[in-house]
Amino acid sequence: GSLSRTALSGVVALTMLSISMQASADTWKMALGDAAGGTQYELGTTFASLVEEKTGGEVTVDLFPNGQLGSEQDTINNASMGLLDLSVLAINNITPFSPTVGVMTLPYVIRSPEDARTLTHGEIGQEMVDNTVRDAGVRILAWAYSGCRRLTNSAHPVASPEDLEGLVIRVPKNEIMIAAYQAWGVNPNPLAWSETFTALQQGVVDGQDNPYITIDAMKFHEVQNYVTDSCYVFSMEPLIISESKFQSLSPEQQEAVLAAGEEATEHSYEYLLAQEGEIKQRLVDEYGMEITEPANDESEWIKQATSIWPDFYDSIGGKEKLDAALSALGRDPA
């Protein structure tokens, strides 16, 4: 009768309402190269909840950790083509697509969390954002600060560059990092991040370098015994958005996305300072890793690795770019 017709039209109206609500909430995909639990994940989840809040629920984000959406370098390609919305990946995996960010991966330029924060916040940071949009079709929205990259290996303690002899070390596919190991006298093996755990496990490579927080999130302690407490590159991991996606947003949404990125960056910095020491201790106490201090205050490592700087002046846009970074950090020109 008329009652059931009324009930039915109510159901139809409710169904239509829920369809239109679903259509207006846009769900974005975010790739993460690392497993859940590290700095990438912390940045990703923080950004996701902030952007949802700041857009009043118009945008939600689904995270895909552990390289599920491809290697870190694949995810830039995909974002650049508009096939992927967001990715969190290491800065060294952006360098091949936008070489001027190489100033941030030159060995021993960034030597502390404070240095990293200074470079990502200042004029230099803004230039990286602009250059990455121009060169790679992706926009840096936020930064995860993951800490200094520490060398790990399965064979023996490494204190000096000579101790690397006979070890095969995995490096990212990054010319600067390859050159740094060559300056230390070995030929590293460039491998995608997504293949690194298996390569370590199968003994295809003996070692790799990444921050304590990443070593822990990736469970590298299961396949590595020794860590050198060195700091040749500071790992920063930008959150990037496909520039075509960004340009398709309303001005209000763009503002919300940028603000969410800024807040998530601040959170990431606090997270590193709060967590790194504890995680380093856990690698020793719970997982039995042995930490070695670099010999002679790391001086041989520094001298040999910084000798490659001039080979990259052209790719970073000239020596003056390095000098500007060093000056922002209160250091002498190269």
Q: How many residues does the chain have?
A: 334
- 74 touching ligand MLT, by CB under 6 A: no
Query: From the list 33, 70, 188, 207, which residue makes contact with ligand MLT (rule: CB under 6 A)?
Result: 33
Q: x-or-dash pattern for ligand MLT, window 199-238, by CB under 6 A?
A: -----------x---x--------------------x-x-
Q: Shortest Cβ distance from residue 295 to ligand MLT (Å)?
A: 24
Query: From the list 61, 89, 183, 260, which residue makes contact with ligand MLT (rule: CB under 6 A)?
Result: 89
Helix, strand, coil shares of the chain, percent, nearest 5, are 55, 15, 30
Query: From the list 93, 100, 120, 132, which residue makes contact with ligand MLT (rule: CB under 6 A)?
Result: 93
Residue count at the site for ligand MLT (CB under 6 A)? 13
In the complex with ligand MLT, the residue whose CB is nearer, 237 or 276, is 237
In the complex with ligand MLT, the residue whose CB is nearer, 173 or 319, is 173
Among the listed ranges 76-84, 85-93, 156-164, 239-247, the one in contact with ligand MLT (CB under 6 A) is 85-93
Q: Shortest Cβ distance from residue 235 to ligand MLT (Å)?
A: 6
264 phi, psi to nearest 5 deg? -65, -35
- 298 touching ligand MLT, by CB under 6 A: no
C-alpha dihedral, 315 to 101 to 277 to 62, nearest 10°: -140
In the complex with ligand MLT, the residue whose CB is nearer, 42 or 237, is 237
DSSP states along 188-220: -EE--GGGHHHHHHTTS-SEEEE-HHHHHHTTG
Q: Shortest Cβ distance from residue 164 to ligand MLT (Å)?
A: 17
DSSP-based three-state secondary structure for 252: helix
- 73 touching ligand MLT, by CB under 6 A: no
For ligand MLT, the binding residues in 150-189 under the rule CB under 6 A are 172
Q: Shortest Cβ distance from residue 38 to ligand MLT (Å)?
A: 7
Distance (Å, rounded) from C-alpha 37 to C-alpha 277? Answer: 16
Minimal CA–CA distance to 152: which of 108, 116, 196?
Answer: 196
Distance (Å, rounded) from C-alpha 202 to C-alpha 195? Answer: 11
DSSP-based three-state secondary structure for 142: strand
Distance (Å, rounded) from C-alpha 171 to C-alpha 190? Answer: 5
Q: Shortest Cβ distance from residue 170 to ligand MLT (Å)?
A: 8
DSSP-based three-state secondary structure for 187: coil
DSSP-based three-state secondary structure for 171: strand
- 70 touching ligand MLT, by CB under 6 A: no
* Residue 309 · residue 322 · CB < 8 Å: yes
Among the listed ranges 86-94, 135-143, 219-227, 249-257, the one in contact with ligand MLT (CB under 6 A) is 86-94
Distance (Å, rounded) from C-alpha 274 to C-alpha 268? Answer: 10
Which residues contact ligand MLT (rule: CB under 6 A)? 33-34, 72, 89-90, 92-93, 172, 193, 210, 214, 235, 237
